[in-house]
């Protein structure tokens, strides 16, 4: 039997950004036998949610880590094993954009992640009055010099209704291979 190419993907971002919903949506879309949870009943990640999906010959293993301030201290324990990072932003929460940027900058300044592909997701695009993808790009512009030489993309998503989730996963597959 042929061996799958196996990769590890971290899903990071502040609590309430939509990380758990994104992982559930991903498993529902890409795992044939996965029945899924009721997405509207998901509550914020306190420990670690894991999931895996297979796309062709590629297996993506996801680690969705808790985003509360005290749990952010644990993120770097996973950096050495990661092949890609999804950083999720709640585009509807303008009051926490600065906090989100600080967590993002702190993550980027860790050298272990140097060169690891990075997907920024502007989540909750289904909500009226949320920040658009260009708005988020402008807000995060100050961090651009820290991104360095790596694949990086910013995309809009709605983890709740699934918009943009497939495109993001395809981007990860193309970047890690
Ligand atoms: P986490 O703390 O980052 O894991 O966030 P959760 O996945 O627990 O989501 C936090 C809240 O945001 C929940 O009430 C979700 O239903 C909601 N949520 C997540 N993604 C979206 C989205 O794309 N659109 C909307 N409207 N709500 C979302």
Please report the pLDDT score of residue 131 as a whole number.
Answer: 98
Average pLDDT for residues 110-134, to the nearest whole number?
96
pTM of the predicted model over 0.90:
yes
CA distances from 10 to 47, 57, 60, 77, 78 (A): 13, 20, 10, 11, 8
User: CB-based contacts of 146: which residues, under 8 Å, 6+ apart?
Assistant: 105, 108, 109
pLDDT tens per residue across span 39-69: 666 666 666 888 999 999 999 999 998 878 8
Please report the pLDDT score of residue 141 as a whole number.
Answer: 92
Q: What is the percentage of the chain residues whose pLDDT exceeds 70?
A: 90
Please report the pLDDT score of residue 69 as a whole number.
Answer: 84
Please return the burial class of 15, using the count of CB atoms within 10 Å of its CB with bins 0-12, 13-18 and 19+: middle
Please report the pLDDT score of residue 40 as a whole number.
Answer: 63
Range of lowest pLDDT (11-20, 39-48, 125-134, 140-149): 39-48
Least Cα distance to 131 among 96, 85, 164 occurs for: 96
User: Cβ(160) to ligand 1 under 6 A?
Assistant: yes
pLDDT at 36 over 80: no
User: Cβ(86) to ligand 1 under 6 A?
Assistant: no
Largest CA distance in the chain: 51
Report the run of H or E that residue 171 belongs to, with start and end.
Answer: helix 165-176
Average pLDDT for residues 73-96, to the nearest whole number?
94
Ligand 1 center–CA 140 separation, angstroms: 21
For residue 157, the ligand 1 atom closest to its alpha carbon is 23
Residue nearest to atom 17 of ligand 1 (CA): 18
Contact between residue 86 and residue 165 where contact means Cβ atoms under 8 Å apart: no
Please report the pLDDT score of residue 71 as a whole number.
Answer: 82
Residue nearest to atom 19 of ligand 1 (CA): 18
Ligand 1 center–CA 159 separation, angstroms: 7
Residue 3 binned pLDDT confidence (cut-offs 50, 70, 90): confident
User: Which of 26, 159, 162, 163 has most ligand 1 atoms within 8 Å of its beta carbon, as the pocket-test mutant?
Assistant: 159
pLDDT at 1 over 60: no
pLDDT tens per residue across span 93-118: 999 999 999 999 999 999 999 999 99
User: Which of 11, 12, 14, 16 has most ligand 1 atoms within 8 Å of its beta carbon, as the pocket-test mutant?
Assistant: 16
């Amino acid at each position: 039997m042929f061996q799958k190419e196996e990769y590890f993907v971290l899903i990071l971002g502040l609590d309430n950004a939509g990380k758990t919903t994104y992982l559930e949506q991903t498993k529902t879309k890409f795992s044939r036998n996965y029945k899924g949870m009721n997405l509207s009943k998901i509550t914020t990640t306190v420990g670690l949610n894991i999931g895996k999906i297979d796309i062709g010959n590629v297996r993506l293993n996801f680690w969705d880590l808790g985003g509360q301030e005290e749990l952010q201290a644990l993120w770097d324990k996973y950096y050495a094993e990661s092949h890609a990072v999804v950083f999720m932003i709640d585009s509807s929460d303008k009051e926490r954009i600065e906090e989100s940027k600080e967590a993002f900058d702190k993550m980027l300044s860790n050298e272990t992640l140097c060169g690891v592909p990075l997907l920024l997701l502007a989540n909750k695009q289904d909500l009226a009055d949320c920040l658009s993808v260009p708005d988020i790009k402008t807000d995060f512009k100050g961090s651009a010099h820290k991104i360095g030489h790596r694949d990086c993309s910013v995309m809009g998503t709605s983890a709740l209704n699934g918009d943009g989730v497939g495109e993001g996963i395809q981007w990860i597959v193309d970047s890690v291979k």
